[in-house]
Amino acid sequence: MLLYYCINTVRGDKMHTFNANIPIYLQVVDEVKLKIMNGTLKPGDKIASVREMAMEMGVNPNTIQRAYAELEREGFIRTERAVGKYVSENTKLIEECRYKLIRENIHQFLMQMKLLGLGKKDIMKYLEEDNDE
């Protein structure tokens, strides 16, 4: 079992938990990517300013600036001078990354089930049971 500790940040009535073993800016990157890939943030949507996001997450604005720079470098967001930051309209990139994440999660799940000694039929049985609920 992996052991790690968390950093909690609180702003108003919101609390955000970060894994202390991973740089916070990378966790912000992952969170924004997930919101883009699951459709919470859609192509063309304006995203929170650096200051707004820093307040929301309870972190230093420099951390958010670094995360946004990484997201822009990877093509997930774009900046319009003096207007703000927006979700990229590159749906091909978003779908490719979403597909890759799905495949990685499925692979990890299957490896864990294999460690438990389950075969494909057993896994399907459990998935069907879960679907019935």
Q: What is the tens place of the pLDDT at every residue in 61-110?
A: 999 999 999 999 999 999 999 899 999 999 999 999 999 999 999 999 99
Domains in the chain: boundaries: 6-89, 92-132
Tokens at residue 82, please? 């003096």
In CATH terms, the fold of domain 6-89 is Arc Repressor Mutant, subunit A (1.10.10)
Q: In the 3-class helix/strand/coil scheme, how is 119-132 assigned residue by residue? A: CHHHHHHHHHHHHH
| For residue 13, pLDDT beyond 60 | no
Beta-bridged to residue 46, according to DSSP, are: 86
pTM to 2 decimal places? 0.79
Any residues with CB less than 8 A from the CB of 41 and at least 6 apart, and which?
Answer: 32, 35, 47, 87
